[in-house]
């Protein structure tokens, strides 16, 4: 069963997930790097699904450059 959006957001930004992330980096990076990575993750804690949660707006039309137009 898929979690609803509120549950998914909570699961994405959890202490356990960040702890697992830090544990996974042990032995690969030094303590300062791990701390910086976890802090960056806390500050940017948004699930990837949020990027597509809203419908895209109108996009700009491509127009030829002004120097292509001749009088």
pLDDT digits (tens, 9 = 90+) for 20-68: 989 999 999 999 999 998 888 877 766 667 767 766 777 777 877 766 6
Phi, psi of 29 (to 5 degrees): -130, 160
Inter-CA distances, 27 with 19, 33, 36, 46, 57, Å: 15, 11, 15, 26, 45
Contact 9, 47 (CB under 8 A): yes
Determine if residue 27 is left, alpha or beta; phi over 0 gives left, psi from -120 to 50 gives alpha, anything else beta.
left
Question: Bridge-partner residues for 26, per DSSP?
Answer: 29
| Domain map (residue ranges) of the chain | 5-52
Q: How far apart are CA 22 and CA 37, in angstroms?
A: 8
Residue 11 pLDDT:
61
Residue 67 pLDDT:
66
pTM of the model: 0.46
């Amino acid at each position: 069963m898929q979690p609803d959006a509120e549950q998914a957001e909570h699961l994405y930004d959890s202490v356990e997930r960040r702890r697992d992330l830090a544990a996974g980096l042990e032995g690969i990076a030094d303590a300062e790097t791990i701390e910086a990575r976890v802090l960056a993750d806390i500050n940017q804690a948004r699930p990837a699904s949020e990027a597509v949660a809203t419908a895209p707006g109108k996009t700009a039309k491509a127009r030829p450059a002004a120097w292509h137009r001749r009088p």
